[in-house]
Structure 1
Amino acid sequence: MTEPTIPPITEDDIANYLANTPDFFERHAGVLASVQLSSPHGQRAVSLQERQAEMLREKIKGLELRSADMIRHGQENSAIADRLHRWTRELLLTRDAQELPLVAATEMAAQFNVPQVAVKLWDVAADFAGQAYAQGASEDVRAFAASLPRPYCGANPGLEAASWLVDPGAVASLALIPLRDAGSPEAFGLLVLGSSDPHRFAADMGTEFLERMGELTSAALSRLRP
């Protein structure tokens, strides 16, 4: 009679046995002490305890890096909040409504380190129609502003709005932010940010912060609306 073939013990069998027999190393403490593992920092063998210590050090290092990133992002967010506070404060302190577009642009350039900023408005109240910022926007650029569901960010392909900047030839990237009354699909102006850095306003960047800036600027400049 042929004896049944016993399948060889596999690594999975050993792993399952040890996982299901937690007191094995209590009964065989010498085995645990003699286990040698390869070190990730060379070809030498290390004890299980030393390997565990290395893994713990690596985990701590990873946590420290993540903590440093969180602190850095927190500091950056705090700095942005401070700049936004100072910009908003200057708008609130501006008593003469006709000065608001200039204050909005100059303070944005100063607080957020934007090299060039321009604002154009249309359909403003008669008292402000003679101001430079209320003139020069063609029907095409008005239609373009109205078509923007969110700020445009990208290269400077020679758009009309770029010509409103002091030195459009030096601009490699643009952010065009439509200005709207709350809840209205129509735009009554355009906020233009320009930079010589082609990556400052990249096409794939998030626009949430720029949208918030557009909302605040729109609210401030609504005083110039009829």
Structure 2
Amino acid sequence: MKPEAVAQYLRDNPYFFDDHIETLTQIQLPHPHGGRTISLSERQLVALRDKNKDLEKKLREMIAYAQENEALQHKVHEFVIALFGARDLATLQDMIPYMLRDIFAVPHVAMHLWQTNPPSEAVLMFADTENQPICTHNPVEDTATWFGEHAAQLRSYAYMTLHAGSGTIGMLVLASEDKERFYPEMGTMFLQRISEVVSSALHPYLAD
């Protein structure tokens, strides 16, 4: 009899072991974590323990994620307070990249404002068409050059367009040598919030 047929028979006859209780004591199964054999009931206990371990691991991961998320929210809150405490554009231009390196634990941050660093037509077109943050493994047009001597080592990027009204006033880019630091499928909620508050803080100092 094929294994599938045996399995189907037991599913179709849930009281089989009630009528053949001695069979339960005779069945021996290989231990999943060793070479010895164990009874069916022992195997069920092992399976339950393994399942509990998996659940505990997932719970620990969820707790760790929640703690990291809370810490990130706290840093973003401090960032917002600092932004609106700045009194001039020069302070903001220094503060924003510095604080973002800490918030996102990312080594490279570049902020280009069109008023002081006019973009290429291709970069401007990208900024005008992308309203949401973009995470990618490839630099957009010539933006890798914004990172100077580090450009050749960078493997992932997060792009945030800065807006004032209906127009764009610049672009904020996070970059890393780690290819997995930013990737297309990652969530961008915090990046979007950062883009919005930075845009709001810069707007009074820049022409529309």
TM superposition score normalised by structure 2: 0.76
* CA shift for structure 1 position 220: 1.7
Q: Note closer, same or farther for the CA distance 1:217–1:177 as it changes in structure 2 (3 Å cut).
A: same
Q: Note closer, same or farther for the CA distance 1:114–1:33 as it changes in structure 2 (3 Å cut).
A: closer
Per the alignment, residue 105 of structure 2 pairs with: 113
CA contact (8 A) 1:90 1:107 kept: no
Per the alignment, residue 179 of structure 1 pairs with: 162
Per the alignment, residue 31 of structure 1 pairs with: 22
* Partner SS for 2:87: coil
* Partner SS for 1:187: strand
CA contact (8 A) 1:120 1:191 kept: yes
Counterpart code for 2:158 = A
* CA shift for structure 1 position 181: 3.2
CA contact (8 A) 1:152 1:175 kept: yes
The one-character-per-residue Cα deviations of 1:35-72 (angstroms, maximum 9, x if unpaired) are 42313435644333322221221121111111121122
* CA shift for structure 1 position 155: 4.3
Per the alignment, residue 130 of structure 2 pairs with: 148
* CA shift for structure 1 position 190: 0.8
Q: What is the alpha-carbon distance in structure 2 between the residues aligned to residue 46 and residue 151 of structure 1?
A: 55
CA contact (8 A) 1:170 1:196 kept: no
Per the alignment, residue 79 of structure 1 pairs with: 71
Per the alignment, residue 47 of structure 2 pairs with: 55
* CA shift for structure 1 position 34: 2.5
Per the alignment, residue 103 of structure 1 pairs with: 95
Which ranges of structure 1 fall in alignment gaps of 5 or more residues?
1-9, 123-133
Per the alignment, residue 136 of structure 1 pairs with: 117
Q: What is the alpha-carbon distance in structure 2 between the residues aligned to residue 152 and residue 214 of structure 1?
A: 11
* CA shift for structure 1 position 91: 0.9
Q: What is the alpha-carbon distance in structure 2 between the residues aligned to residue 163 and residue 115 of structure 1?
A: 16
* CA shift for structure 1 position 147: 2.2
TM superposition score normalised by structure 1: 0.70
2:157 is aligned with 1:161: no
Counterpart code for 2:133 = P
Q: What is the alpha-carbon distance in structure 2 between the residues aligned to residue 85 and residue 108 of structure 1?
A: 12
* Partner SS for 1:94: coil
Q: How many residues align?
A: 199
Residue identity over aligned pairs, in percent, reads 33
CA contact (8 A) 2:139 2:157 kept: no
Per the alignment, residue 176 of structure 2 pairs with: 195
Greater CA radius of gyration, 1 or 2? 1
Q: Note closer, same or farther for the CA distance 1:166–1:94 as it changes in structure 2 (3 Å cut).
A: farther
Q: What is the alpha-carbon distance in structure 2 between the residues aligned to residue 118 and residue 49 of structure 1?
A: 61
Q: What is the alpha-carbon distance in structure 2 between the residues aligned to residue 48 and residue 174 of structure 1?
A: 53
Q: What is the alpha-carbon distance in structure 2 between the residues aligned to residue 191 and residue 157 of structure 1?
A: 13
CA contact (8 A) 2:157 2:173 kept: yes
